[in-house]
Chains A and B, each alone.
Chain A
Amino acid sequence: MNKYCREIEVKIVDYSENMLDKTQREIFLAHIQDCEDCRRKFEEFTAARDILANTAQKKDLNESDKDLLFKRLTERGRRSKIMYNLAAATVAVVLILVSTFIYSTVSYKSRLQQAGQTVISSEFIIDVEEELINSDEETFEMLSSALYGDDYKEFEEILDETSIIKP
């Protein structure tokens, strides 16, 4: 067994999907000629793909009621927009409270540490705010559970789903 045989499945798929460049294609075909194991796999795959392509063509479907879906979306959209604005407003209020708290705590601390040692600017507060809005899902989760009550489950579900996608 040749080194090229390793992950031949990937190469077969790449070849079949036209994902190899000219040189790669030539190397692939030469190997398939020489190596019986790989050739058998290739033939097996090609035959299977033909069957599927044949069946898939016969299968088609009617579109569902587009209008109804659009209506549902815009209705829900309006509702969720209100909810979202409400949530955003709440987030803003909480953030102001949190930042004020952090600011006063830190400035109190810094006053204790004597002025000059820790300089706190308003940028710091903005940083905290941005960090919360952009990346801190837990905070979002917390806020939405407080805000949405029972609907929180749905929110949690959405969080779960997207965690798959995150690199």
Chain B
Amino acid sequence: MVVKDVRDDRPERDYQSFNDRELVSMFTDGDRRAFEEFYKRYHHGLMRFIMSYCRDKNLAEDVVQDVFVKLIGFKVRAGLVRNIKSYIYASALNRCRDIVKKEQKNTALGDNGSNQSVTDDSAAEHIDIEIMNKNIQNLPERQKEVLLLRTESDLQFKEIASILGISENSAKVNYFYALTSLKKMMGGNFNE
């Protein structure tokens, strides 16, 4: 398969000035540069969020792909999606919740589930991150969601509130308790 990299001489900011909806419509019609711009805007943050949530790289890639594919679906085309950013994160979140629920069921049945490592870091750091990730999974669901949307995807509290259907203050309070509980859980494992 040969995919031409269309980094021609047109200035990059042309595409940066398009809003999400325009970009989606353009890349659905095969515009590679529109896709590049959209990808740049969302892929990284989305991937980090999903990976921290599901803790499985392959699964996370599948989810990201599905979320992107949904953008070319009926609802977006019909103009029924008001905010593309909220929409992709809400879609991703729903998929993640399902995956984790399924995983918990499997674990309950004696299957160890997938607890793949998330990083390629050296051993010592690896343990810290591994412990941290495990502890994040043990937070109450809402706290975990707010925390990951904030730290992994760098979303504003306003955006997080809109995705989760809660108030901005509630998002902040959840973030506060997510972080402080996390530190308590880490206990002696973290001596800075």
Contact = CB atoms under 8 A, between A and B. Distances in A.
Contacts of A164: 90, 94, 163-165
Interface residues of A, number: 55
Interface residues of B, number: 66
A62 to B, nearest CB: 9
A47 B183 contact: yes
B121 A84 contact: no
A80 B30 CA distance: 13
Contact of B83 (A84, A134, A165): A165
A161 B65 contact: no
Given A12-B176, A159-B75, A63 B30 contact: no
Contacts of B77: 80-81, 84
Nearest to A7: B169
Contacts of A87: 74
Contacts of B65: 64, 69, 72
Tell me if A's interface is mostly helix, strand, loop or mixed: helix
Interface string B55-95: 00100010011001111111101111111001100110010
Interface of A: 7, 9-10, 12-14, 17, 41, 44-45, 47-52, 54-56, 58-61, 63-64, 66-67, 69-74, 76-77, 80-81, 83-84, 87, 133-134, 137, 140, 144, 154-155, 158-162, 164-166
Given A41-B176, A44-B183, A70-B3, 4 more contacts: A10-B176, A69-B64, A73-B72, A134-B79
28 contacts: A7-B169, A13-B173, A41-B176, A45-B179, A48-B180, A50-B192, A55-B132, A58-B129, A61-B51, A61-B57, A66-B39, A66-B43, A72-B69, A73-B28, A73-B35, A73-B69, A73-B71, A76-B69, A77-B30, A80-B74, A84-B74, A84-B77, A87-B74, A140-B80, A158-B75, A162-B80, A162-B82, A164-B90
